[in-house]
Structure 1
């Protein structure tokens, strides 16, 4: 491999474009880091508190949004807050590019800054994908379809819910995706950067496509990952095209790093890189394994775990028939996670409840997550055959509900196993 030289002349357009890209990517990495860099969350604690005041002000005073920004980055990375941050980054980058272009006309190139920008991007994309990959290899991000999903109609799921169910079904496919994403470790080394970027482009493009076409709220970050990966590949693009489409032999240059004359600094650089890599792989794995105790397929099941089909629903001594238009009678009760339950009513609408179960006194309290005045207080029995009986009150109404726990192995999705031979397509 050849080294890319610092002694080159860039065109005016190249320099202007680089100034913008440099500012935009660095600002994005700083403010949309998602804890990718070690200890970054601690460093950004106070700046983020300031942003939580500044960004809503920009939304109201500059962009004249018709609503206040009260929701900040959470499980969704596509909140209004995130888009306004993106707007601010864009404005600062454009303004900074203009000012930089006015005051700096003498530099022949920005090869040194280019090198450090690639370092920031390589570690940002690489560490983020290693984290994403680990939660797939260990299968934490996408859970196997649980009791709520198995009892849900296809048409009642959201596009994201459908995608999560599809991706969570297969342990093998998660392993395949995870290994591909963990391969982003190649980005952390200059000599394997191009190979890592090619693999990363395929994985991030697939992630971005799922996010866009299944309405998964990580569109901003996934688009940035694809864009940054393309930036890393840009200096090899012409050579890769020649190799792939003309068969010409090419040499891919290694991005030249600044010379470090002192030996102890060279050693320190490798120690720091080793610590970062160890943090990503070892500490990341420990964290994910620990998280399995609370989330994912290996998480402990609550004592009343199951999908229950309602056979009898009596309210104030009146038996309510199972009419599909009924908005009061329960159809199913799904208990999948400790402290939580989902009720599916006969008319197919659902409601989430917080639960508190006392398995000694056989008492179950349920409180609506959307309206805390809606509460149930039950005495219950659950026998070995799966007959689950609730007897209690909701406000001033008395309720008697008898249910049968469904055998999850009877669902076609669960019992259908892998087959090498299929005489006919089994597409149901």
Structure 2
């Protein structure tokens, strides 16, 4: 029975880390040639078995367990007395490298605060109750980019420890507590990565089990404990160093440089480019057809206010029933601004539009970023009588004439004031 259990565990974790399902390869081969860099490498690293759709679930683990159980009985019949040390060494090495790659993938998008960006102006002008729990968690992390970078640094250091056999248990112990906290946060805030974080914790526990008894004997029983000195003799030792060098080159150097470049020039959560203006605007006049609609917080047609982000996104507040985009899994495959929906995910009360503008003809072309609405478009002419007022005119989605006057409100945001003050104090200390 003990032999079957040992075989089962080795096969189970080997099947957990070696990509077997077609969904993974479909994701990899669907990446366009220009979609390399940290985006493509993240897709490569973000693997967990999926047999029941595109979203991982614990049911996938049951399939892996069933395959491992069948395989363990077949293995028992074909090889009654395997070389346990050799088998355990190889499986543990594969799991170590898989775990390290997964940690590096998340570590660098935290080190360069890409995963949780600073809240947008639209988010700062959205009532607290209009956010989902997971969006609140993401914004809470985004307002302290230095802490987010620290978390990424912890993951990167733990991953590097996993790449070396003598320090692997230390790295695994760090990850059990660090990623275990991520798992609990996903459960508490209704995040979508609870299966993946549990997956990483299970890999860390397997790696830690290699030295678990020795650590228990040394730290708990306080007995003299000899380290594990067994080492696999390889006929071609340069293969071990070649594999290590390849992982460091691709997932540390290349991925790290690409993530840093993405942070500066191509963040995956927010659109790229520069908007025509930036700020919060009250709607002082709203005329549709021949009717001028007075301000009303309950009106589903009249706009209440409009936010122009630093990038080419406009968000419009109105009392309209809207479906909340509850996407809460990490996906960084979006390339176009229209596909970057983090600013609208997990929130209600505002409609988000990607836009382009023609400064010569003073035309704005708005495209609704909600795919359920078919990416409907709106073309408006804009005029700026002065620096604080914007006048929009054109046709509404129902093809009625539309005339809107926007007046800029010079709002102060405590988060931005605190961040600016922190930067100034840091410069003074330097």
TM range (shorter): 0.7 to 0.9
Q: Tell me if the contact between 2:104 and 2:155 (Cα under 8 Å) persists in the aligned partners.
A: yes
Q: Tell me if the contact between 1:392 and 1:399 (Cα under 8 Å) persists in the aligned partners.
A: yes
Q: Describe the superposition over 1:75-104 as per-residue Cα deviations: whole angstroms up to 9, x where unpaired.
A: xx44xxx56644533332232233333444
In structure 2, the partner of 1:400 is 403
In structure 2, the partner of 1:422 is none
In 2: Cα distance, 1:120 partner to 1:373 partner:
44
In 2: Cα distance, 1:337 partner to 1:412 partner:
18
Equivalences for residues 59-138 of structure 1 within 5 A: 72=54, 77-78=55-56, 85-107=60-82, 110-138=84-112
Shift of 1:344: 2.0
Q: Tell me if the contact between 1:314 and 1:401 (Cα under 8 Å) persists in the aligned partners.
A: yes
Shift of 1:120: 0.9
CA gap of 1:87–1:364, structure 2 versus 1, over 3 A, is farther
Equivalenced residue count is 371
Shift of 1:338: 5.0
CA gap of 1:43–1:313, structure 2 versus 1, over 3 A, is closer
| Secondary structure of 1:236's aligned partner | helix
Gaps of 5+ in 1: 1-11, 49-54, 60-68, 420-428
In 2: Cα distance, 1:194 partner to 1:133 partner:
19
In 1: Cα distance, 2:375 partner to 2:167 partner:
59
The normalised TM-score by structure 1 is 0.76
Q: Tell me if the contact between 2:121 and 2:307 (Cα under 8 Å) persists in the aligned partners.
A: yes
Shift of 1:412: 2.0
CA gap of 1:302–1:88, structure 2 versus 1, over 3 A, is farther
In structure 1, the partner of 2:284 is 311
In structure 1, the partner of 2:130 is 156
Q: Tell me if the contact between 2:314 and 2:352 (Cα under 8 Å) persists in the aligned partners.
A: yes
In 2: Cα distance, 1:323 partner to 1:43 partner:
47
CA gap of 1:31–1:341, structure 2 versus 1, over 3 A, is farther
In 1: Cα distance, 2:105 partner to 2:183 partner:
16
Q: Equivalent of 2:18, from 30, 34, 39?
A: 30
In structure 2, the partner of 1:171 is 145
Equivalences for residues 19-418 of structure 1 within 5 A: 19-31=7-19, 41=28, 72=54, 77-78=55-56, 85-107=60-82, 110-183=84-157, 184-254=159-229, 256-261=230-235, 265-292=236-263, 293-295=265-267, 299-336=272-309, 338=311, 340-346=313-319, 349-368=349-368, 369=370, 370-372=372-374, 374-382=376-384, 385-394=387-396, 395-407=398-410, 410-416=412-418
In 2: Cα distance, 1:283 partner to 1:309 partner:
46
CA gap of 1:209–1:321, structure 2 versus 1, over 3 A, is same
In structure 1, the partner of 2:323 is none
In structure 1, the partner of 2:337 is none
Q: Tell me if the contact between 2:358 and 2:364 (Cα under 8 Å) persists in the aligned partners.
A: yes
Q: Tell me if the contact between 1:26 and 1:117 (Cα under 8 Å) persists in the aligned partners.
A: yes
The normalised TM-score by structure 2 is 0.76
Q: Tell me if the contact between 2:281 and 2:408 (Cα under 8 Å) persists in the aligned partners.
A: yes
| Secondary structure of 1:209's aligned partner | helix
CA gap of 1:121–1:44, structure 2 versus 1, over 3 A, is farther
Q: Tell me if the contact between 2:273 and 2:312 (Cα under 8 Å) persists in the aligned partners.
A: no
Q: Tell me if the contact between 1:20 and 1:93 (Cα under 8 Å) persists in the aligned partners.
A: yes
CA gap of 1:399–1:240, structure 2 versus 1, over 3 A, is same
In 1: Cα distance, 2:314 partner to 2:72 partner:
53
| Secondary structure of 2:364's aligned partner | strand
Q: Tell me if the contact between 1:36 and 1:128 (Cα under 8 Å) persists in the aligned partners.
A: no
1:16 maps onto 2:4 in alignment = yes
Gaps of 5+ in 2: 33-42, 44-49, 321-347, 423-430
CA gap of 1:178–1:96, structure 2 versus 1, over 3 A, is same
CA gap of 1:325–1:196, structure 2 versus 1, over 3 A, is same
Q: Describe the superposition over 1:183-209 as per-residue Cα deviations: whole angstroms up to 9, x where unpaired.
A: 121100001111111222222112212
CA gap of 1:268–1:98, structure 2 versus 1, over 3 A, is closer
Q: CA RMSD in A?
A: 3.4
In 2: Cα distance, 1:341 partner to 1:92 partner:
51
CA gap of 1:319–1:280, structure 2 versus 1, over 3 A, is same
Which is worse superposed, 159-168 or 338-347? 338-347
